[in-house]
Structure 1
């Protein structure tokens, strides 16, 4: 993963260019022949293929049609459109603190009716208690050395999370059992958070699955990901927030989520894991 938005964007542009070149080669066309089929100068093909000129949507459709590969056009268009914005450093997004970042998600959440969320390490933000969120965001603030507006950020996150209780959206939450055991905050904070999970999992619009430590792993633990309907995936890495809109990549995350879903336990079995984690806090 590139370390800066500019280098990440260039890598994304290069990936689109490389895929277009592959389609040309698979079609058995030279650069000159492709240009003739597309009706433009051969230099344009070269500039696009070497990532010196970003292709327009029309350019990509024309290129794919010339190669007999129209089925790839929409994926490439989505990748090309997001090349400048799909990789955004947390440092840039959080430079003024965390409250503004919390507010930036509101419209995205309003537009979504079905959330699928997988987290290997922390309780998803939608179902965090204020105390847990305070402990987590305080750690982030200290680690990244950004302005401390944790109280405002927690208030914004708590307010935004009320959509879980509105009943108009569906939430499929998958977490690794480690999420129940990692001590974010003190024992009281964790006890309150785990107790809240027991409460929220009874909501008719919420499905909470927990993948036990002992589950056989045909699908390995992944990075945290948030799937918004079938239109976008947000992947959270240590330094970077990645937004994915290419249909085939979204389909891959949906397939992975389905496989992880098969590993999880629900209902009474999930409650037993949460209760066990609560009991361990007393030791």
Structure 2
């Protein structure tokens, strides 16, 4: 559910904006060709916009409303356009000023959130990473994306952000796939330290640490990693970029997906058993 929603959320928002523009045109008694001609566009442009195949620019929206006599709706439509454009941010755009600034930008969201829910199928979530694991992850990202080398500063930012874990007024629920315990970056020593840290973090009174066991007959398949901040926002980490979801119905979809995955997870002694088994596997691999 989460993966399909992540791939469709932006398109749905674009289509919603396109539908509103179509209603404005029809209310004005114009055909698409009439509108395009009046705006000085190619005859097919208005059709492409209404079918969400082409995203309108701010100037396109202003021209559309002017021709249709709907100037009063411009501000609202422009706000919707900005919301659509802000939903998905490519990694290269988010990190063009460096990894440290990308880490700093998330501070306000973390500070205003009281209930965190995190599901990860790729890596250990950032709030419960060790310094060495974070360093390995960010070095890998920097090299893969060809970014400036400010990894050390970015690591410090992420470590500083982890202080929210020790704020008794906040609650955290982490779910990781068992495969996350078995694969990683930085080598066996880094992974061993990270797994030991999970055992420590899982003992905090305001933290729930769940592991979704590997199984050939699961009721719910793995999804792309996502964070739920209170009931206000979801962030999904995609291969191509960072998706922000604030539509209440879609936030609810992710909450339902989290609940389904949480029902498959194991906790307490059973979770610790899977973590220690992963540690033992590392030790065996060093022999």
What corresponds to 1:240 in structure 2? 241
On the 8 A contact 1:215/1:263 being kept in 2, the answer is no
TM-score w.r.t. length of structure 1: 0.78
* In 2: Cα distance, 1:141 partner to 1:109 partner: 23
What corresponds to 1:280 in structure 2? 281
* In 2: Cα distance, 1:106 partner to 1:179 partner: 25
What corresponds to 2:96 in structure 1? 95
On the 8 A contact 2:61/2:78 being kept in 1, the answer is no
For the residue of structure 2 that corresponds to 1:138, the secondary structure is: helix
What corresponds to 1:251 in structure 2? 252
* Displacement of 1:216: 3.6
On the 8 A contact 1:12/1:83 being kept in 2, the answer is no
* Displacement of 1:95: 1.7
* In 2: Cα distance, 1:260 partner to 1:200 partner: 20
Pairing of 1:212-231 with structure 2 (within 5 A): 212-214=213-215, 216-231=217-232
When the two chains are superposed, the root-mean-square deviation of aligned CA atoms in Å is 3.2
* In 1: Cα distance, 2:11 partner to 2:176 partner: 31
For the residue of structure 1 that corresponds to 2:252, the secondary structure is: helix
* Displacement of 1:43: 4.6
What corresponds to 2:164 in structure 1? 163
Judged with a 3 Å threshold, the aligned counterparts in structure 2 of structure 1 residues 237 and 145 are, in CA distance, closer, same or farther, namely same
Judged with a 3 Å threshold, the aligned counterparts in structure 2 of structure 1 residues 255 and 174 are, in CA distance, closer, same or farther, namely same
**What does the per-residue CA deviation read over 1:101-150, in whole Å, with 9 as the maximum and x for residues that have no partner?**
11000001001000111000100000000000000100000000100111
The answer on 1:115 being equivalent to 2:123 is no
On the 8 A contact 1:113/1:229 being kept in 2, the answer is yes
What corresponds to 2:134 in structure 1? 133
What corresponds to 1:68 in structure 2? none
On the 8 A contact 1:9/1:85 being kept in 2, the answer is no
Judged with a 3 Å threshold, the aligned counterparts in structure 2 of structure 1 residues 12 and 219 are, in CA distance, closer, same or farther, namely same
Q: Which runs of 5+ in 2 are unaligned?
A: 1-7, 36-45
TM-score w.r.t. length of structure 2: 0.77
* In 2: Cα distance, 1:191 partner to 1:81 partner: 44
The answer on 1:203 being equivalent to 2:204 is yes
